Structure 1
Amino acid sequence: MDAKTEKLNLKREVGLMGAVSLIGGTMIGSGIFMTPQTVLSSIGSPGASLVVWGCCGFLVILVSFCYAELGTVIRESGGEYIYILKTSGPVVAFMLVFTSVLFVRPAGVAGIALGFAQYAVAPFYPGCHPPVLLVKCAAAAAIIVLAIVNCLNVRLSMSVQVFFMVTKVLVLVVIIIGGVVMLIRGHNENFEDSFENTNVGINPIGIAFYQGLWSYDGWNNLNYVTEELKRPEVSKRLKGL
């Protein structure tokens, strides 16, 4: 009798809503609430700041289309690692994983966690800055809790992701509506001579674009869990749209 070899596969438990929340919930993070002031101070004017945000969004849309197509062609988890492995070989792919695991990903997670911790503990210290040690402890606790949740169950982690995505979208809607109301009431002084004092140097424009693109980070997260999607061809296509 021929022995059948069984292949170890990931469970396909991530549905369409979970896939959307994995992208939207990650992109709408603490960065969008922290970097606008840096973008504005770097570029020097509100009008140029809006141009930078628009250009960053357009670039993210283009690369998202590319990743959506890659996700439908190469249906393996791993994101850019699996793409580089299949196109450039194991050496380059290993260098990517090595730098990502040891430097890039930990630095990004630490920055996001610290941003979250600052906002989380700020209500307990009105009128003053919270202790640095407390902020770091809160950030570490948030990282540990989310890591445990992701290790326990995929569905539980997706439920948490969906909940936070809906919450952050509602917060952004409140902010947008508040801004529109202020404009209707005539508070448009920031749009008068909106391009005045714009810094056109390479350094300020580069810093502004870096901060803007960092706020949009997370558009590629779905490709890391391609093998866990229930219908990857549908989720990827809708992501591209």
Structure 2
Amino acid sequence: MAATTGKLNLKREVGLISAVSLIVGTIIGSGIFMSPEWVLRYVESPGASLLIWMICGFLCMVAALSYVELGTVIKESGGEYIYILRNFGPVPGFLFSWTSVFVTFPASIAAMSLSLAQYIAAPFYRECPPPAAVVKYTAAASILIIAIINSLNVKLAIKIQNIFTFAKLLSLLVIVIGGIVLICNGNTQSFQNMFKGTRGIGSIGNAFQQGLWSYSGWNNLNYLTEEIKRPEVNLPRALLISLPLVTLIYVLVNVSYLAAMSPAEMMTSGAVAVTWGNKVFGRWAWVISLSVVLSTFGSINGSFFTGGRICYIAAREGSLPGILSMAHANRLTPLPALSFTAFIALILLIPGNFASIITYFSFTAWIFYGLTFAALVYMKLKKPHLPRPFKVPMAIPVFMLIVSICLVVAPLIETPQIEYLFVSLFMLSGILIYLLFVYFKLCICSMKKITMFLQLFLEVTPTQANLD
């Protein structure tokens, strides 16, 4: 291919098992070890908390069904970007790529790396919290290590994902079994009058944001459709296997937490998995801390794998500089896009903290999820002739569009924060960038020289879509 056309395409390396591993491994990260405390704080009753976790899993399952139809009709990598671009045009598509490349994906990677760093540093600072500088340096090191792994080889990144997914499932299984043993021994105080003290609807939006953050990654497979073997078969199978499995695990893990701790203890834990480990394992509690590290590392690897792809696809479609659409001539990895994603994530580490970064992520993500569901509604109405190997009823994308609007508007009404204004202004600034550099094609004088230098230095070459 390179000899005849001068272009390469990424290889189809992702089979069904790897696809399931990528989804499960990306979803199960730091969220299930940190968010249960916050969900319970917002609703203040064990019953409502468990209900939130089940509803979040159901919402992601329903949303994933819509994405399966989109992914089997539009067999291109890029996820929301490509679906919005093909249905609503270049401006909304550019705004998604602009926000995703500079906020959503790097913010997710930065937040998880901070969580990972907290657990790595904690054993060395038993008497006090780890210094912020130590946490951020450790987080930066983890991002660089994962960037190198993903840049070296696609198969290597997938193998690491498979290994870490198995390890985190094993650790969560230990927590589930521990919870069953506790319940059998009579530790059921938290489940008596489960819904007593449930707060009103005012905090539901924030509780859902925390819960849905723990499920983030349910859509990641659509970002690499061109690298999936038989996507029309493996895409729906992988999602239909992964999401019910994750939902079941999340609910059982929360039941285990509540079996070991009272709701009051859980809400003040700070690190609910570690508190569970101290109560159940005693001096062997370090096993749980190690499990959190393995789980979070695997989740960062999965997010990085897909985050680099959205940057790569957006550049290939002309929304970003051309150098980001190139792949390494020998390794066939999108090296420039992966490097750029790592660079932005490192920048977000400097001023950021876990809570504020999740705010950036959740608010922007559900805006574009809503646009994606609107794209499916549009396709069903305006393009009914397109072949659909997998089809969902119209009610599903309409329902998810309404849910997306509620998840964006509810936090603005309940707890308005300055972060929402900053993110909105940043998104709108993308219109000016689009007009200057995409529509009017203004070019920085030295851009061609920079591109040629980077192309030679990184040994990368232009690519084309893999739609066979």
Answer whether TM exceeds 0.5 for this pair: yes
Query: Does 2:157 correspond to 1:151?
Result: no
The answer to which of 76-85 and 4-13 deviates more is 4-13
Give unmatched runs, 5+ long, in structure 2. 241-468
Q: Which amino acid aligns with 1:190?
A: S
Query: Does 2:182 correspond to 1:182?
Result: yes
The alpha-carbon deviation at position 121 of structure 1 amounts to 1.7
The 1-side partners of 2:42 and 2:184 are apart by 28
Q: Which amino acid aligns with 1:175?
A: I
The 2-side partners of 1:47 and 1:195 are apart by 5
Q: Is the 8 A contact 1:31 1:115 kept in 2?
A: no
The alpha-carbon deviation at position 6 of structure 1 amounts to 7.4
Aligned twin of 1:229: 228
Aligned twin of 2:91: 91
Give unmatched runs, 5+ long, in structure 1. none
The alpha-carbon deviation at position 107 of structure 1 amounts to 1.5
Query: Does 2:214 correspond to 1:215?
Result: yes
Q: Which amino acid aligns with 1:35?
A: S
Q: Which amino acid aligns with 2:226?
A: E
The 2-side partners of 1:35 and 1:240 are apart by 23
Q: Is the 8 A contact 2:19 2:221 kept in 1?
A: yes
Taking every aligned residue pair, what percent have the same amino acid on both sides? 55
The 2-side partners of 1:201 and 1:24 are apart by 30
Q: Which amino acid aligns with 1:162?
A: N
The alpha-carbon deviation at position 126 of structure 1 amounts to 2.4
The 2-side partners of 1:43 and 1:205 are apart by 7
The alpha-carbon deviation at position 19 of structure 1 amounts to 1.1
Q: Is the 8 A contact 2:56 2:212 kept in 1?
A: yes
RMSD: 1.4
The alpha-carbon deviation at position 129 of structure 1 amounts to 1.4
The 1-side partners of 2:32 and 2:139 are apart by 18
Structure 2 length as normaliser, TM-score?
A: 0.49
Q: Is the 8 A contact 1:76 1:227 kept in 2?
A: yes
The answer to which of 231-240 and 148-157 deviates more is 231-240
The answer to which of 6-15 and 109-118 deviates more is 6-15
Deviations 1:95-132 (A, max 9, x none): 01101111222211111111111112222222431222
SS of residue in 2 equivalent to 1:39: helix
The 2-side partners of 1:5 and 1:110 are apart by 38
The alpha-carbon deviation at position 8 of structure 1 amounts to 3.6
Query: Does 2:194 correspond to 1:197?
Result: no
Aligned residues: 237
Query: Does 2:133 correspond to 1:133?
Result: yes
- Residues 109 and 240 (structure 1 numbering): CA distance in 2 closer, same or farther, change over 3 Å? closer
The alpha-carbon deviation at position 20 of structure 1 amounts to 1.1
Bigger Rg, which one? 2
> Which is bigger in relative contact order (C-alpha 8 A, separation at least 6)?
1
Q: Is the 8 A contact 1:31 1:214 kept in 2?
A: yes
The 2-side partners of 1:46 and 1:64 are apart by 27
Q: Which amino acid aligns with 1:165?
A: T
Q: Is the 8 A contact 2:30 2:112 kept in 1?
A: yes
SS of residue in 1 equivalent to 2:52: helix
The 2-side partners of 1:51 and 1:222 are apart by 27
Q: Is the 8 A contact 2:43 2:207 kept in 1?
A: yes
The 2-side partners of 1:128 and 1:23 are apart by 35
Q: Which amino acid aligns with 2:180?
A: V
Q: Is the 8 A contact 2:20 2:239 kept in 1?
A: no
Aligned twin of 1:15: 15
SS of residue in 1 equivalent to 2:55: helix
The within-5 A match list for 1:96-135 is 96-135=96-135
The 2-side partners of 1:117 and 1:180 are apart by 30
Aligned twin of 1:65: 65
The alpha-carbon deviation at position 74 of structure 1 amounts to 1.2
